[in-house]
């Protein structure tokens, strides 16, 4: 193998490396950021809904004349809601 062939081979490897750094990696990182943002939103949405329900239940308890009776009602409703929201195994 002569010296020109070695330099050509080095140039091909250098071009492949530059292409990897400037084109492929940024594209993959952008895709990864979009995926993470979508997964985070999908995870937080049910938690946000449940937190809103809990806040409503606390308001009912705070305004109630009979907290024990209200607590039993809320527990029954929460149990029903929780059992409906679980995925089937």
List the pLDDT tens digit at each of the 89 positions of the chain. 678 888 999 999 999 999 888 988 899 999 888 888 777 777 888 888 888 888 887 787 777 776 666 667 767 766 665 554 545 54
Q: What are phi and psi of 2, to 5 degrees?
A: -85, 175
pLDDT at 86: 46
pLDDT at 89: 45
Query: For residues 84 and 64, what is the distance between their CA atoms, to the nearest angstrom?
Result: 26
pLDDT at 81: 58
Say how many domains are in the chain.
1
Query: What ranges in 1-89 are assigned the alpha helix state H?
Result: 3-19, 25-63, 67-85
Q: Domain range spanning residue 75?
A: 3-85
Q: Is the dihedral of CA 74, 80, 81, 87 positive or negative?
A: positive
pLDDT at 34: 84
């Amino acid at each position: 193998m002569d010296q020109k062939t070695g330099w050509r081979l080095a140039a091909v490897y250098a071009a492949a490396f530059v292409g990897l750094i400037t084109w492929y990696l940024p594209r993959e990182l952008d895709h990864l950021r979009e995926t993470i943002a979508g997964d985070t939103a999908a995870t937080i949405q049910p938690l946000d809904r449940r937190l809103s329900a809990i806040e409503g239940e606390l308001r009912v308890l705070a305004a109630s004349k009979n907290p024990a009776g209200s607590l039993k009602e809320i527990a029954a409703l929460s149990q029903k809601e929780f059992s409906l929201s679980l995925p089937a195994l």
